[in-house]
Amino acid sequence: MAKHEKGDLHHLVFVNKTTKNVASTNSWILKLTALLQQTGHNAGIQSLLPHQKVLRLLESNNLISKTVRGTKSDQVTANVRLEAKAMIPYMAVLFCEKQTGGTLVTKNAFCTWIIEQLQDQSSEVYETAAACELYDLLEKPRSTRWWRDQFKKGRV
């Protein structure tokens, strides 16, 4: 993997010349050999690499640099989970305070309440999250299922 001007991570992959699909054969040793083959560095220790196999691969594939998928979104997703984990105890206290004595409390009702509170910019939960700069949590509303999964996966 390498970084380019924009800071995006890139890696080399074999791409079929006709279909433009990424080839299933993409081991690091074959990519290294193909890169050395294309630059003309195939003598010495590099001659021990599988050049014949790479030459066959390069007949129907090109070696190109592609942006690594998921690195930024994975960071945002992990950050949202951490923000949710930090806010859930506070939201649970508020939820319990607002419930009437005989009301049945369920995870589903709690998760639905969380979503409503995070969407209402005048709510105490929203204002607290904004004051704590939990912008990833406020930016995109999560589903009831996502919130329930936070409990199920033991994150809270």
Rg (CA), the chain: 25
> What pLDDT is stored for residue 156 in this prediction?
55
> What pLDDT is stored for residue 4 in this prediction?
47
Is the pLDDT at 55 greater than 60? The verdict is yes
Is the pLDDT at 6 greater than 70? The verdict is no
Which band of pLDDT confidence, cut at 50, 70 and 90, is reported for residue 116?
very high
Is the pLDDT at 78 greater than 70? The verdict is yes
> What pLDDT is stored for residue 73 in this prediction?
56
What does the pLDDT average to over 57-61? 84
Is the pLDDT at 19 greater than 60? The verdict is yes
Name the DSSP letter for residue 16.
E
Is the pLDDT at 98 greater than 50? The verdict is yes
Q: What is the pLDDT of residues 21-32, one digit of tens each?
A: 888 777 777 888
Please give the mean pLDDT across all residues of the chain.
Answer: 80
Tokens of 106: 């369920």
Which band of pLDDT confidence, cut at 50, 70 and 90, is reported for residue 114?
very high
Is the pLDDT at 109 greater than 70? The verdict is yes
Distance, CA of 97 to CA of 16 (rounded, Å): 61
Question: Are residues 35 and 94 in contact, defined by beta-carbon separation less than 8 angstroms?
Answer: no
CB atoms within 10 A of CB 101: 4
